[in-house]
Amino acid sequence: MPSSPRVLSILGVPCHAVTMEEAVQYVDDLIASGARRQVVLALNPPKFFMLEREEALRGLFHKAALIVPDGIGVVLAHLVQAGERIRRVAGADLMQELCRLAATRGYSVFFYGASEDVSREAASILASRLPGLKIAGRSHGFVASQDMPALVQRINAAQPDILFVALGSPRQERFMNEHLRALDVRVVQGVGGTLDTIAGRVVRAPVLVRKAGLEWLFRLLLQPTRFDRYTILPRFGARILKRKLDTATRRRTPPGP
């Protein structure tokens, strides 16, 4: 097994300090090592509250091979906590870079999630963009619970090196938590709505807006109905500041007699 990237702790949740290039290289090393069922996740502020609601998913995060700092809120949180600026690695971008890696290395991929139309279109677009990409199979995300064992068997029969799970949170984390042991894949990544963006159903922010850390604002302007989702950001920021103040207070308080 390759050595793990440096692990950070943000409000008790692990996250890895990696660049995009380092994340892709690490996944490449995992696949080359022959390791199986290695989980890749993305961390953003909504995930912290998801883990509070569904503590059963905490174990998935703590045993994941790689957790990338997906949201600018996570980047800023570590800056406040430790005075260190880490790089944002968007899970949507990582997924496409891993497809590029797969096309280069001859790895095969399987897509699970989104609607049938989106799944088909995204797979077609990726295949045209990345000649040599081996798509071992795909499935839409509307699989009934009683049909899940058959889906797992279908994935295993296809023998993909990388399984991309595009169910959104927390559905994709629940799927991985419940079925990981039964999956015979090397790497599985939760990719949220990435297939929708590849298929053009959801517009991503321009690159400069993403680099400025304002992708969340771009999405809010396009979809004002998402406003309730973004009320999480000030709540998350308040928790980070409270943790920082509590830590500073403990350091200043002299030990008792």
- In Å, what is the CA distance from 246 to each residue of 42, 81, 128? 27, 11, 52
Residue 18 sits at φ, ψ, to 5 deg, of -135, 155
pLDDT tens-digit readout, 83-129: 999 999 999 999 999 999 999 999 999 999 999 999 999 999 999 99
pLDDT tens-digit readout, 194-223: 999 999 998 777 877 777 777 766 766 666
